Every structure is written in C-alpha cells, then in structure tokens.
Amino acid sequence: MKEALLQEKVLSYYRNKRKNIFSEVPFMSRVIDLVIIEDEEVTSYELKIKKWKYAIEQMKEHRIASTYCYLCMPKKFVSDRLSKKIIEELEFYGFGFALWDENTSEIDNLLLPRKSEFLCNSGVTRLKQNVRNIKCNQ
C-alpha cells in the first residue's frame, strides 16, 4: 500500500462519518496529510507506511496549530512489537496512534493523543486560514 492510497481510504472513512476533513494542508514548511476541524479543535494526521520516526518530526511542528496529532499507519505493516515501540515514542510527545484496518475499513485508535501544550494562536489561525483557502479552491 502506498501513502496516497492510505490517505484516500482514511479521508473517505472520515467523510463518511461527516467529519469536516481536508487533505494536503500546507503549514509552515510542510504539508499536513489530513486535518479535521470540529468546533475550535483541530486534529492533524500524518500518514505513513514505514517512516514513522519522520512523522514524529513532522508532528512536532504541527502541534503548535493542532489540538491533537495522530500518526496513522496501515495495520498490516505494524507488528505487535513495532506497535509497542511506536506507542512508547508517541506517548512521550503526547501524540496519538491509529491503525487503518484494511479488512474492516475502520480506524483502530491504539493511543489517544493528549491536548497539545504547544498551541500558538497565530499557528492555529494560519492553519485554519490554509484550510479556508483549500475550501475556496474546491
């Protein structure tokens, strides 16, 4: 499975649940894979097939604008041993961990994120403005 396919499936999953979700949202020097906006809260998702450590570096930047940050990976590529290692790392930063189950077409949240302690009003405003720009161009 490629990241683009994972993104398509997770995006569709949340759209079917009537979530206000956007893909490929520019933020700072990066692009956030998925962003869900609910009321005043912003949840960002980094989708990875293998390079989960790189996702943590990305989420460290996202946390100034995202209330909650998740790493999402395909379940079939994550062994129990790897899952424990990833959870340990993510827990340290307060990030969440979700697995996409191809068999059930569902998200399995293994680790819920903590609310970001690094939120910055200007970061949140900029991210929401980037989402508005995406909405205008659709």
Q: If pLDDT is split at 50, 70 and 90, which confidence band does 138 have?
A: low
Q: Output the pLDDT for position 40.
A: 86
41-97: pLDDT as tens digits: 999 999 999 999 999 999 999 999 999 999 999 999 999 999 999 999 999 999 999
Which residues share a beta bridge with 124? Answer: none
136, pLDDT greater than 90: no
Instruction: Classify residue 128 as left (phi > 0), alpha (psi -120 to 50) or beta.
Output: alpha
